[in-house]
């Protein structure tokens, strides 16, 4: 990895850690929480490869654990696996949009599995609030990420095609 990509990776990881602390717009419907923009570092990282996606996912888990506690931190740890799948899809030639769409159900499922031991078999809270809520949040942040990625590429700050 060249120095520029390493620096971008470190910045994305730092963003993933601090977003839970600085973003004001949060939706909290226990056990679900949504912090607008929380998935943006993960989505950008999938364009830089699996190792970067894992690093950014771990940063996200740390940030949410420190800010919102263990359950939300465990849910954020799922960004490692979602980012990893997204990075592999990109590496295999999938478009960014396809990667966002394909990873959405996995993201929802993993977060549902994380909350189940803590809330039991409350189908509404697991399936609707956590699962569907995560998928909708995933898509919202995917759209935000798509815009940021286009701005970064047009400004020649980053070339994700390399």
The strand pairing partners of 34, in sequence order, are: 27
Report residue 161's pLDDT band, with 50, 70 and 90 as the boundaries: low
- Please state the rounded mean pLDDT for residues 41-52: 96
Check pLDDT > 90 for residue 29: no
98 touches 89 (CB < 8 A) = yes
pLDDT digit string (tens) for 66-117?
999 999 999 999 999 999 999 999 999 999 999 999 999 999 999 999 999 9
> What whole-number distance in Å separates Cα of residue 21 and Cα of residue 121?
31
pLDDT of the residue at 24: 87
Q: Looking at the domain 3-154, which fold is it?
A: Arp2/3 complex 21 kDa subunit ARPC3 (1.10.1760)
Report residue 28's pLDDT band, with 50, 70 and 90 as the boundaries: confident
What ranges do the domains of the chain cover?
3-154
> What whole-number distance in Å separates Cα of residue 87 and Cα of residue 111?
19
Q: Half-sphere exposure (CA, 13 Å, Cβ side) for 83?
A: 32
Q: Tell me which residue of 38, 42, 33 sits closest to 20, measured CA to CA.
A: 38
Q: Tell me which residue of 108, 100, 88 sits closest to 149, measured CA to CA.
A: 100
* pTM (two decimals): 0.92
Give Cα 83 to chain centroid, integer Å: 7
């Amino acid at each position: 990895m060249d120095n520029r990509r390493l620096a971008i990776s470190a910045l994305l990881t730092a963003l993933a850690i601090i977003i839970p602390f600085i973003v004001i717009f949060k939706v909290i419907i226990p056990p679900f929480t949504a912090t607008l923009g929380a998935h943006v570092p993960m989505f950008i990282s999938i364009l830089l490869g699996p190792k970067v996606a894992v690093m950014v996912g771990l940063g996200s888990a740390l940030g949410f654990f420190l800010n919102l506690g263990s359950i939300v931190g465990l849910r954020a740890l799922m960004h490692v696996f979602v980012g990893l799948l997204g990075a592999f899809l990109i590496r295999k030639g999938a478009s960014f949009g396809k990667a966002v769409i394909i990873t959405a159900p996995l993201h929802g499922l993993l977060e549902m599995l994380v909350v189940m031991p803590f809330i039991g078999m409350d189908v509404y809270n697991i399936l609707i609030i956590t699962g569907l809520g995560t998928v909708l949040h995933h898509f919202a942040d995917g759209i935000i990420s798509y815009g940021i990625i286009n701005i970064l590429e047009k400004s020649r700050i980053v070339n994700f095609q390399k």
